[in-house]
Amino acid sequence: MKMFYTEQNRGFYSREIHGENIPADAIEISEKLYSKLLEAQANGQVLAVKNGKVIAIDHVSTQGEIAAARIAELRASLANSDFKVLPDYQARSGKTDAEMAEILNHRKIWYQELQELSTQN
Mind listing the pLDDT tens digit for each residue in 33-79? 999 999 999 998 989 899 989 999 888 788 888 888 888 887 777 66
Predicted confidence at residue 72, as pLDDT, reads 82
For the question of whether the overall pTM of this predicted structure is more than 0.85, the answer is no
Asked whether residue 19 falls in the same domain as residue 36, the answer is: yes
Same domain, 74 and 108: yes
Q: In terms of domains, do 52 and 83 share one? A: no
Question: Looking at residues 95-113, what average pLDDT do you find?
Answer: 83
- For residue 121, name the pLDDT band (cuts at 50, 70, 90): low
- Assess whether 67 and 39 both reside in one domain: no
Structural domain of residue 109, as residue ranges? Answer: 63-120
Same domain (yes/no): 67, 116 = yes
Is the domain of 110 the same as that of 92? yes
Indicate whether 10 and 41 sit together in one domain: yes
Tell me the three state secondary structure of residue 12.
strand
Q: Are residues 77 and 103 in the same domain?
A: yes
In the prediction, which pLDDT does 28 show? 93
Q: Judge if 93 and 114 occupy the same domain.
A: yes
Mean pLDDT of the chain: 83
Q: Which long-range contacts (CB under 8 A, 24 or more apart) does 70-77 make?
A: 70/113, 70/117, 71/114, 71/117, 71/118, 71/121, 74/110, 74/111, 74/113, 74/114, 74/117, 75/114, 77/107, 77/110
Confidence of residue 4 (pLDDT cuts 50, 70, 90): very high
